Amino acid sequence: MNKQTLMTALKWVASGLISLFLLGLLLGSCLFFYYVSKAPELSESKLVATTSSKIYDSQNNLIADLGSEKRVNVTTDQIPTDLVNAIVAIEDHRFFNHRGVDSIRIIGSIFNNILKRSNGLQGGSTLTQQLIKLTYFSTSKADQTVSRKAQEAWLAFQLERTATKQQILTYYVNKVYMSNGNYGMQTAAQSFYGKDLKDLSLPQLALLAGMPQAPNQYDPYSQPEAALQRRNLVLSEMYQLKYITAEQYEQAINTPVTDGLQSLKNSASYPAYMDNYLKQVIEQVEKETGYNLLTTGMEVYTNVNTDAQKKLWDIYNTGDYVAYPDDEMQVASTVMDVQTGKVIAQLGSRNQSTNVSFGTNQAVETNRDFGSTMKPITDYAPALENEVYTSTAAPITDAPYNFPYSSTPVYNWDKKYYGGMTIQYAIQESRNVPAVKTLEAVGLKQSLKFLNKIGINYPEMHYSNAISSNTNKSGNEYGASSEKMAAAYAAFANGGTYYKPQYVNRIVFSDGTEKVFSNEGSRAMKETTAYMMTDMMKTVLTSGTGTNAAISGVYQAGKTGTSNYADDELTKLTKPYYGSSIVTPDELFVGYTPQYSMAVWTGYSNRFTPVLDDGVKVATDVYRSMMTFLNTNGNEDWEQPNGVYRVGYYLYLNGSNPYRYYIQPSSTSEESSSSEEESSSSSSESSTTSESSSSSTSNPQESKPQTNNGQR
């Protein structure tokens, strides 16, 4: 090919590329203008509007009007310079240099994300775009579309054309939610400090500036450590941008985050007994729709049964139902409709502060051990599901035994062994050795597969999880909570279908559109498995460790649970315990009827404050009181499904031989490699739990409490 031909070809290629570029630019422009043509109309009324979301119970009765609280707005000249600098420092460094959309910021954000160098301070959105998002759009990932981004950018650009930077900042300062029912930073200043913004110190202003991204997470009243870190991060950014001197910075970061905080006054527009439930409503709405109902006006129809929620509050906070050992003992529980997954009542603590809104809800936290309540779902149900056992009369031996592939012994709560028994009796008396043997027979992978179907997960499955929900990773995605356990046991109650816990039924948005929350459920186990587990757990209440939870005339099933301290932890306990037969950080009960499931955790906020003999019945007392209220007219028993038959006190799968039952433990390399923690960390097993002594079996006779005695 000669030079002239080559040059001609290159010209044609260049022309083609330019044409394609121009065509792409034209099409992109057309698409952009198509998107923005559907953007909402920019209006000052929306930018300054007081947002109000109305929340209704399951009977469509109004229970909360979030956002109706008093708001105190500021004018531009009332906003101190330090607050402006703090907001710009943490939210948008180039705020005064862009026109609503910052291409440099976007490119920098992309570059940092690619290189994983982002420190989380700066995203691609400008402060103006954040204001637009707060006013008009959802934050849901599903809504992070090209169309939405185009509209957001267009409205931000239009706002920058019609409003000054000072006005935009003023809209933002008055718009943001600041926790505890406070909307706008001036409202928060008066609520937190009893002062106007102009009278606050530098560290106080820095705290307020940092809160809007996660107001409940950075609440200085309920989350002081997180609030301190966020405030200091704002101050650091201000120093880096030379908004403050080194001396100012040092003085500010050394100021306590609680400096100047006054006691909060209860300004909530809803009753205190609804606080925990409403927190979960807010979280579900944002997770499912991307909208924060604290900043976006909507009508939310929930699944809460107001009468049941009130009753649960009374059970917790009066002496009419339960004899609590002291005011500090805590309770967390969840009540669920087993046929739908609807959470009808939930409360995370006793004697809650009525001044702090949407604080920690222990009912959904997984940081405490659910002990032997894990046995039915981790060990026995997977064994029945995989036909390791084909009868509730399947034999197993309670005898000295080590965690698989280790030299660590498995102890029962009483340090005794009962010899041969059925798995039904093993559940009834909550024997640990049979539980661990059963998990070994099932296999860790099969057990975890089963647990995943009912909403329980672990980062890594261990044999100690046969009798404990402890994990080596934090985060509510792992382990157990009252919410998760109520949902898991509900699958036993309804014949094997798992329903994800659901707080919201329906949402009506401000434009009249609505979203209905459906909950179809998923098959988690065979109907025969669910029925056989229920039949065995009935005996826990009739003659086993949970007789204190029994209610005359009510068909129900359930399981007790207790956790223990390791030997080296006993020296750290906060109160004397000698003379008590039970010394535990967590006492639990999970039970259900054909209509409702309920999971109850009891203990102290400080794990090293033990539950002793006088507190071990609290969990079953709470459960019994609540279930009595829900079943005032009694209930009907479960119907035996096809696929099982009864002989005497026991159930058998069709086709099974009622005279021959045995266990064949798994010996695969997969199980061996997954059990290393038993040999390397004896503390996990030695801190296994013991059951409360409500059974007919003998209690320990030692003068000191039983430790390292397994789950019960």
CA distances from 574 to 456, 569, 609, 619 (A): 32, 11, 5, 21
From 58, 91, 349, 684, the catalytic residue: 91
Q: Which helix (H) or strand (E) holds 637?
A: none
Per-residue pLDDT band for 49 (boundaries 50, 70, 90) equals: low
Give the 3-state secondary structure of residue 266: coil
Q: What is the pLDDT of residue 554?
A: 97
Query: How do residues 199-223 score in pLDDT, each as one tens digit?
Result: 999 999 999 999 998 898 999 998 9
Structure tokens that stand for 710 in this block: 């397994």
Per-residue pLDDT band for 677 (boundaries 50, 70, 90) equals: very low
CA distances from 550 to 324, 539, 542, 623, 628 (A): 19, 10, 7, 9, 10
Compute how many other C-beta atoms are within 10 angstroms of the C-beta atom of residue 646. Answer: 11
Compute how many other C-beta atoms are within 10 angstroms of the C-beta atom of residue 149. Answer: 17
CA atoms of 664 and 184, how far apart (whole Å): 65
Over 50: is that where the pLDDT of 130 sits? yes
Over 50: is that where the pLDDT of 678 sits? no
Q: Which of 295-304, 475-484, 549-558 has the lowest mean pLDDT?
A: 295-304
CA atoms of 20 and 12, how far apart (whole Å): 12
CA atoms of 586 and 365, how far apart (whole Å): 13
Over 80: is that where the pLDDT of 584 sits? yes
Q: What is the pLDDT of residue 700?
A: 31
Q: What is the pLDDT of residue 33?
A: 60
**Half-sphere CA count of 303, side-chain side, radius 13 A:** 25
Structure tokens that stand for 249 in this block: 């910075």
Q: Which of 409-413, 502-506, 669-673 has the lowest mean pLDDT?
A: 669-673
- Residue 457 has what DSSP assignment? B
Q: Please choose, from the candidates 150, 275, 137, the residue with its C-alpha nearest in 3D space to the C-alpha of residue 216.
A: 275
* Burial grade of 112 (CB within 10 A; 0-12, 13-18, 19 or more): middle
Tell me the Cα Rg of the chain.
30
CA atoms of 674 and 543, how far apart (whole Å): 36
Is residue 673 part of the annotated active site? The answer reads no
CB 243 within 8 A of CB 235: no
Structure tokens that stand for 376 in this block: 């039915």
Is residue 670 part of the annotated active site? The answer reads no
193-203 per-residue burial string, b: 16 or more CB within 10 A, e: under 16: beeebeebbbb
CA atoms of 237 and 349, how far apart (whole Å): 38
Over 60: is that where the pLDDT of 136 sits? yes
Concatenate the DSSP letters of all residues of 71-89 into one string: -----GGGS-HHHHHHHHH
Per-residue pLDDT band for 125 (boundaries 50, 70, 90) equals: confident
Q: What is the pLDDT of residue 142?
A: 52
CA atoms of 456 and 448, how far apart (whole Å): 8
Most confident range (mean pLDDT) of 100-109, 289-298, 700-709 is 289-298
CA atoms of 125 and 655, how far apart (whole Å): 64
Q: Please choose, from the candidates 459, 280, 474, 454, the residue with its C-alpha nearest in 3D space to the C-alpha of residue 373.
A: 454
From 58, 125, 372, 447, the catalytic residue: 372
Residue 409 dihedral angles phi and psi, to the nearest 5°:
-70, 150
Average pLDDT, the chain: 86
664-682 mean pLDDT: 38
Over 60: is that where the pLDDT of 419 sits? yes
pTM of the entire structure?
Answer: 0.77
Concatenate the DSSP letters of all residues of 161-194 into one string: HHS-HHHHHHHHHHHSB-STT-BSHHHHHHHHHS
Percent of the chain with pLDDT over 90: 63
CA atoms of 483 and 97, how far apart (whole Å): 48
CA atoms of 395 and 235, how far apart (whole Å): 66
Q: What is the pLDDT of residue 685?
A: 37
Q: What is the pLDDT of residue 124?
A: 62
Strands 298-302 and 53-56: parallel
Q: Please choose, from the candidates 423, 414, 350, the residue with its C-alpha nearest in 3D space to the C-alpha of residue 383.
A: 423
Residue 160 dihedral angles phi and psi, to the nearest 5°:
-65, -25
CA atoms of 305 and 57, how far apart (whole Å): 6
Structure tokens that stand for 523 in this block: 């098959």
Percent of the chain with pLDDT over 70: 83
Q: What percentage of the chain's residues is helix, strand, coil (to nearest 5)?
A: 45, 10, 45
CA distances from 113 to 76, 120, 213, 254, 291 (A): 35, 10, 19, 32, 25
Q: Which of 172-181, 296-305, 433-442 has the lowest mean pLDDT?
A: 172-181
